[in-house]
Chain A
Amino acid sequence: MITVKNIVVSFSKRQVIKKVSFQVKEGAVVGLIGPNGAGKTTIMKTILGLLKFEGAIQINGSAVTVNNHQALTKVGALIERPAIYPFLTGRQNLTLYCKNQQDVLDLVTSLEMTAYVDDKSKQYSLGMKQKLGIAIALLNQPEFVILDEPMNGLDIEATILVRQIIKKYADGGTSFLISSHILSELEKVITDVVLINNGEILVEKPITELIQNEHHQYKLVTNNLAKTVALLDANGIKSENNETYLTIDASRILEIQPIIYAHGIQLLELSPITIDFEEVVVNVLKEREVNPK
């Protein structure tokens, strides 16, 4: 379990992270999201003991500080761009941090890097370098992995592969903290969301809960839409006619069925309108802009 408690990070007396607290449970994949400059990378670097901070960070009960990295022995990370030496081959880059050749071989195989792992990494494409960076983060059976924009430069096949590997490691108990601007991709892999802006946490909850909470509207289809609109209106229920269906507020949903059945209207469909993750995030950010606190 990774616990971040009330951390404050300042650059030249300006607070860039303001009392941020969250947890990453064992096997959880937490998406750290927010607009550019929100403080995502700063939080990640702080957890890695690279920046001075106030507050407390613990990894499985051991404290992380700028001068004490003992708790980071089972932590892997990919921050900003892959940290690789261009004059070394992919395998040598991995061997540098891991003496267990079986571990190296397993990662090379699972990330499908066998064909080029013995070439100098200066010859690698952006996607190959990214995969190598991810492999370095996953070395030595880590308990906690931090990935900053892991899908950068990856093609569709590699993206799916990396997603599968993250899920496999998470199933094995490894916790992840991942940031990405590609929310549609992130949505497929994360279990929890930490949404930040201007160095403050706006939302911290499981992704299912976040999306469910945003199901404010339902789609209603009947065999007589015009009559349904009139009936709902007469009962003080607002609806929006979209020609083929009506949009109804979720708060009045239980009242609808008795009304339309009583007037012999046939109900063809009543289902929540799905809002995707991107929309939810945008809505939360917009809401916070209008209503700052």
Chain B
Amino acid sequence: MMRNLAQEWFKVKHQKSFYYGILMLFGLMLFTVLMDSDDQVSFLIVQGFGASQWIALILVVFSANLFAMEYQNNTLLTLFYKSPTKRAIYWAKLMIILGYSGILHVSSISFTILLKLFFYPNQYHWFSTVTGNQSLLKTFLKLTTINLMASLLMISITICLICLFKVNVVAISIGVGIVFLGQTISGGLIQSAGDLVSLLKWNPFNMLNLLGQLADPSFRAITKLNNPQIMIGTAGYTLLFLGLGYRLFKRSHN
């Protein structure tokens, strides 16, 4: 397992996309600051200038590429026979993605502090109270931590997709579609569900509202799930997609 982890890290650190992802996150957060109106700034700051969505997007591309390179370069075969188990390869890749997710989240904290300092130096003080009598800083850090956990769902969906299609373009396209449209699709489904609401509120796309709901309780009206339910649902689907992804990955050369 440690050998697989070292190999995965060796490959990742030699790929430009690893560094471009962090730069892109900064660019997209800057874009959010420049494009958004001034009336929701505190909400933007606690959400790290849209970092949650941009990180999800970058993680979809990163995860898909990490698996796709093995399929495309015929290297999966070498990895399989040189590793004691296929599980070791799968978990090593997952650990690298989680590590990268951690790096992106830490970067997003630094970028948010930097951008706030540059664009709003004397407004929206970090220790000013926002929602629920909590300070701006505390809420921001809490939501970033929750997003770190919530991003696991998007990672697991992407891994499942890439192990199914083996082509990164397909997995990325569907993954990006889910990042941008998942919540809308879920909202539409639940609204038009009628008697089936109690069942359809458990659809996987609804779990993408986790961060939104924890930041803004009004989301409950859309998700029809309370906070513990949406957290359990997110964890459950994450495990389900990770398990499914592993089964598909295991059969890649059978």
- Give A residues with C-beta under 8 Å from B: 45, 48-52, 66-70, 72, 75, 77, 79-88, 92, 95-97, 136
* Chief secondary structure at chain B's binding surface: helix
Judge whether B74 and A69 touch: CB under 8 Å: no
Contacts of A95 in B (CB 8 A): 10
Q: In the bound complex, how far is the Cα of B74 from the Cα of A89, in angstroms? A: 17
Judge whether B81 and A84 touch: CB under 8 Å: no
- Closest-CB distance, A124 to chain B (whole angstroms): 13
- Closest-CB distance, B72 to chain A (whole angstroms): 9
Contacts of B78 in A (CB 8 A): 77, 83, 97, 136
Contacts of B74 in A (CB 8 A): 79-83
- Closest-CB distance, A88 to chain B (whole angstroms): 6
Judge whether B85 and A87 touch: CB under 8 Å: no
Judge whether A92 and B81 touch: CB under 8 Å: no
Chain B, interface size category, equals 20 to 34
Residue B122 lies at the interface, judged by CB distance under 8 Å to chain A: no
Among B7, B69, B77, B85, the one with the most A-chain Cβ atoms within 10 Å of its Cβ is B77
Contacts of A96 in B (CB 8 A): 7, 10-11
Q: Which chain A residue shows the least CB distance to B8? A: A96
- Closest-CB distance, A207 to chain B (whole angstroms): 27
Judge whether A85 and B253 touch: CB under 8 Å: no
Q: Which chain A residue shows the least CB distance to B83? A: A69
Residues 55-101 (chain B) with a chain A CB within 8 angstroms: 69, 73-75, 77-78, 80-85
Residue B37 lies at the interface, judged by CB distance under 8 Å to chain A: no
Residue B192 lies at the interface, judged by CB distance under 8 Å to chain A: no
Q: In the bound complex, how far is the Cα of B83 from the Cα of A70, in angstroms? A: 8
Residues A84 and B75 in contact in the complex (CB < 8 Å), given A69-B81, A70-B84: yes
Judge whether B11 and A45 touch: CB under 8 Å: no
Judge whether B81 and A97 touch: CB under 8 Å: no
Q: In the bound complex, how far is the Cα of B85 from the Cα of A50, in angstroms? A: 11
Contacts of A77 in B (CB 8 A): 77-78, 81
Judge whether B11 and A88 touch: CB under 8 Å: yes
**Can you name 23 A-B pairs with beta carbons within 8 Å?**
A45-B253, A48-B80, A50-B80, A51-B253, A66-B254, A68-B84, A69-B80, A69-B83, A70-B84, A72-B82, A77-B81, A81-B74, A82-B74, A83-B74, A83-B77, A85-B11, A85-B73, A85-B75, A86-B73, A87-B15, A87-B16, A88-B14, A97-B7
Q: In the bound complex, how far is the Cα of B7 from the Cα of A136, in angstroms? A: 14
Q: In the bound complex, how far is the Cα of B126 from the Cα of A41, in angstroms? A: 63
